[in-house]
Structure 1
Amino acid sequence: MTKRRIARHLGFLTIFLVGVILRVIVFVGFRWQLWFNDSWSYVESAVRHQPHVARPNGYAFLLQAFRPFHAYWPVILLQHLLALAAAVIIYALLLRRGSRRWTACLAAAPLLLDAYELQLEHMVLSDTLFLFFVLAAAGVLLWPGVRGPYACAGVGALLAAAALTRSIGLALVPIVLLWMVRRTGWRSFAALLTACVLPLTAYAFWFSSVHGRFALTNSDGPFLYARSMAFADCSRFTVPAEELPLCDLRPRSERPSSQFYVWGADSPLARVPGDRFSPRKNELAGDFARRAIAAQPLDFLKAAASDVLKVFRWDRTVYPDDYTYSQYRFGTATKPVQPWAEPSLRAYTGGSLEPTTIVRPWATIMEWYQRYFFVRGTMLLALLLVPLVRLRWDALLPWAFAWAFLVVPAVTVEFDYRYVVPAVPLAALAAALCFTPREPAE
């Protein structure tokens, strides 16, 4: 790169370098990974080579690919690199579409500098891989001059990979198809749909061979049931006898958070015979939830809207409980390994549990950094409002993706800060696209 080119991109290179330094500090301060509740299940799926009953195996496939290292640090390193690459996608895409360099820098900055993004990347968790697939798909679709069937087939494959990494990726497929209606011919449309459907269908067949249901998971019923328990009143709708154990007679104000109804040992769901995510329990829980929603549609909308509004608060509040909230922060203590997960963790590494080692002063630096340097909910709302003021068709794609990340969990499960982080770079991209020329240079 010549000196002139370096000078032209000096702003982005500076922010990018700061992002690299921050990731190095995280890497050496929390050796060599952080753990979340779901981390154990991903490792278990990678070791057993079976589809997980509650979440697709896309991330488990990545863990399997790195299993010969007998350690998690190569996966974590890759996740940090994928985030850096995603920031480059945002910056390069905006420049290609004629954006000013400072606008492109600002759009890429949250992904490079947000403390909660850094923390999520350092977890044995699917979110960073998922976000990379989504931004790569958006980058191809929005790149000027890319309209052919081969490119669209690539987008379809990326969307399938995203859906197999996190179930919410399925919600992005209809968004893309609707957005493409006015931009591509039927061949490109068909290529994208085919490349997306084939991997998902193959996975569903594999899932069916193990769990007896043609689907990606057996968890949609219990999760929707958990959502409905924020408002469900069994006196207001007809409940079949086999679903009566699912009723909670406590007043709404005295009920625990929605996640309790899926994972809690004392959840009403545990009264129904069978495993937590068995096909029969999935069917009964889903049927109960749909009855409650049909009988109390306004209460359902109110519960979902309340969760969405939590996203846009200026300060992060403790939710849904201290334990879950603490997992989204750089902490001073290591997360204990769940006893049931130990066999899988030892099998993956060849014997060691690979506990996190907290090293100071690097960990202290990131604890301080996370107090101040992150995109607050009100800032995210401002980004999401920009495309409504400066309406642009191209901006609607990442804008709709961001809203899907915020709304779909609120409708199907409950609000969680984990779902907010991936929405930020997409909202920033959408806002920046509103200030690019309407006809990008080819």
Structure 2
Amino acid sequence: MAHRALVIAMLPAIGLRVLAVLGFPPALLFYGDSFAFLREELTPGTTRPSGYSLLLALLRPAHSLTLVTVLQHVLGLALAVGVYALLRRRGLPGWGATLLVTPLLYDEFLVLLEHMIMADAIFIVLITAAVALIVWRVTPATAATAGMLLGLAGITRTIGLPLLLLTAAYLLVRRYGWRPLLALVVAGAIPLGAYATWTKIEKGKFALTEADGNFLWSRTMSFADCDVIKPPERLAVLCPRMPVEQRPYPPHWLWESFSPLLKVPGTANRNQLAGEFARQAILAQPGGYLGAVATDFKQLLRWERTAVDEKTPYKLPAAERPISESVRGVAESYEDGPAATRVVEPYAGWLRAYQRFGYVPFPLLTLGLLAALALTVARRRWDALLPSLAALALIAAPPFLAAYDVRYVVPAIPLICLALGLTLSARAPGDTAARPTRQPEAVAGHAS
């Protein structure tokens, strides 16, 4: 059987997802974000776009969070099969293609995100599918489909927008012609434009979110010194009041009661002032900004995803966590019943044990990305350039724009696997597999 290696690898991967469904029904919930996505009132999000909320709204009539997580698990498995099929098409043997999609099948964080009511799993599928389509074949049809997928990714997580621009630049530099480029841009602009128009109608501003300035401001809290920045009086309220060495990690400045950001009235006004402060801080202290970014990048050298005693929302729970009264109604309305994550043993325990070792360490992932970039140039496998650069953008952008988070690195895993496979494949785009032919002499000899 040509795909025996993949079939063998798929069975335990399916088993891991079955453990998630059985061990943590109906779904894993992430702080306040999951409940914001689950709200019945559909409105453009303030801190994040609401593309994932639209998907949840389509599934709402079933009143089943389990349906959502099972769908995400199935899409995750289908993505691995799709990357495998593309690598086989490029000439990799079955075992080689299977080896390269193993992280997609077995990485515990991908399984966790698939089982969580968060936009990440859908975002990963959208961006990887879009890039794979462009790598597979560039035509107006595939470019339009990829553009639509990237546009949907942009209203799911805003980092999808730079990926659309990156893909357009790739088509331009590779000289694929104006038709695919136009198809990509127009198709990508449809969901983005529709969503921004919705935001304009609802909130009076043509935008995807109202928080880009807030996130960049929180980044500057790692180093900002108002004695150096000397902000005008209208921005001085955003100055941090505690020494640099005592300041918490940037995301805390967005929500915690000590944050001066919360003293600024008006969502749009807050975002605008925060953006202005952040830009002044970066211009006044470029060394501090780059130093904070570099400190975040050091996290990529850490072998363990999370330490045993580390408090993080990315650990599978050992006991049921009650849902806060303020948001319980939102989840229970969607589920039409109790919605708190239950912990069912022994399945939950088996998956928790697997979580301690079932992942690709980030140092190896970083080496894989660097290897893919180097091999792309050395072997002139320019079809691997797009997934390599897309993965680099996903990893590099958050420390510059907000802060490092392990959840922001994981979407790069499928793209790095795809890029590595393309650089190692024997067949370039457009090549056809060599088919054995019978030589005229042999045919003649047989006839005689």
TM-score normalised by L of structure 2: 0.92
CA shift at 1:230, angstroms? Answer: 0.6
2:59 maps to which of 47, 66, 74: 66
What's the offset of the Cα at 1:370? Answer: 0.8
The answer on 1:432 being equivalent to 2:426 is: no
The 8 Å contact of residues 131 and 386 in structure 2, kept in 1 or not, is answered as yes
Q: Is the 8 A contact 1:107 1:425 kept in 2?
A: no
What residue in structure 1 maps to residue 38 of structure 2? Answer: 43
Q: Name segments (4+ residues, structure 1) moved above 3 Å.
A: none
Q: Secondary structure at the match of 1:231?
A: coil
2:75 alignment partner, one of 79, 82, 89: 82
The residue aligned with 2:141 is: 150
Aligned mate of 1:159, from 150, 161, 167: 150
Q: Encode CA deviations 1:258-287: one digit per residue, 9 max, x unaligned.
A: 01111112211112223xxx1111000010
| Counterpart residue number, 2:347 | 362
Q: Does 1:111 align with 2:96?
A: no
What is the CA–CA distance in structure 2 between the aligned matches of 1:314 and 1:199, rounded to whole Å?
39
CA distance in 2: counterparts of 1:406 and 1:367, whole angstroms: 26
Q: Which amino acid counterpart does residue 58 of structure 2 have in structure 1?
A: A
Query: In structure 2, how many angstroms separate the alpha carbons of the residues matched to 1:32 and 1:77?
Result: 10
What amino acid does structure 2 have at the position aligned with 1:261? W
1:141 corresponding residue in structure 2: 134
Aligned equivalents of 1:377, 1:137: Cα separation in 2: 24
Displacement, 1:183?
Answer: 4.3
d(CA) in 2 for partners of 1:338 and 1:195?
41
Query: Contact 2:373 / 2:388 at 8 angstroms: preserved in 1?
Result: no
The residue number in structure 2 matching 1:380 is 365
Q: Counterpart of 2:159?
A: 168
Correspondence for 2:407 among 402, 418, 425: 418
Q: Which amino acid aligns with 1:32?
A: P
**Can you give the 5+ residue segments of structure 1 that lack an aligned partner in the other structure?**
1-6
Aligned-residue offset at 1:363: 0.6
User: What CA distance in whole angstroms lies between the structure 1 residues aligned with 2:171 and 2:268?
Assistant: 36
Q: What is aligned with 1:396?
A: 385
Code of the residue aligned with 1:342 in structure 2: it is R
CA drift of 1:328 comes to 0.8
In 2: Cα distance, 1:371 partner to 1:403 partner: 26
Instruction: For residue 43 of structure 1, report the CA deviation from its aligned partner.
Output: 0.8
Moved more, 296-305 or 368-377: 296-305
Q: What aligned pairs does 1:288-303 form with structure 2 within 5 A after superposition?
A: 288-303=277-292
The question of whether the paired residues in 1 share the 8 Å contact of 2:372 and 2:416 is answered with no
Aligned to 1:3: none
Unaligned runs of 5+ in 2: 433-448
Pick closer, same or farther for the CA change 1:156–1:83 going to 2, 3 Å: same
Task: Compute the RMSD of aligned alpha carbons.
Answer: 1.6
Q: Which residue of 2 aligns with 1:207?
A: 199
Q: Is the 8 A contact 2:222 2:244 kept in 1?
A: yes
Letter in 1 for 2:167: V
2:227 counterpart (235, 250, 259):
235
2:442 corresponds in structure 1 to none
For the pair shown, the structure with the greater C-alpha radius of gyration is 2
Question: 1:139-173, CA deviations, whole angstroms, 9 ceiling, x for partnerless residues?
Answer: 11011xx2221221111100001111111111201
For residues 53-84 of structure 1, give each alpha carbon's deviation from its aligned partner in whole angstroms, at most 9, with x where no partner exists: 11111110111011011121111000000000
Structure 1 counterpart of 2:318, one-letter code: T
Q: Letter of the aligned partner of 1:180 in structure 2?
A: L
Provide the C-alpha distance between the structure 2 equivalents of 1:340 and 1:79, rounded to a whole number of angstroms.
Answer: 27
Query: Shift in Å at residue 438 of structure 1?
Result: 5.0
Secondary structure of the structure 1 residue equivalent to 2:155: helix
Which deviates more, 20-29 or 381-390? 381-390
Find 2:325's aligned residue among 302, 321, 339: 339
Aligned-partner Cα distance in 1 for 2:139–2:54 = 29
One-letter amino acid of the structure 1 residue matched with residue 124 of structure 2: L
Q: Quote the Cα distance in structure 2 between the aligned partners of 1:403 and 1:372.
A: 25
Q: Equivalent residue of 1:165, what SS?
A: coil
Q: TM-score, normalised by structure 1?
A: 0.93
**2:185 is the alignment partner of 1:193:** yes
Q: Is the 8 A contact 1:386 1:434 kept in 2?
A: no
**Which amino acid in structure 2 is aligned with residue 271 of structure 1?**
K
CA distance in 2, matches of 1:60, 1:90: 27
Work out the CA distance in 1 between the residues paired with 2:232 and 2:205. 23
Output the amino acid matched with 1:34.
Answer: L
Quick one: which amino acid aligns to residue 34 of structure 2? S
Is the CA contact 1:29–1:360 (under 8 Å) kept in the aligned structure 2? yes
Deviations 1:105-128 (A, max 9, x none): 111110101111111110011111
Shift of 1:339: 2.6
Cα distance in 2 between the residues matched to 1:318 and 1:25: 23
Q: Is the 8 A contact 1:387 1:430 kept in 2?
A: yes
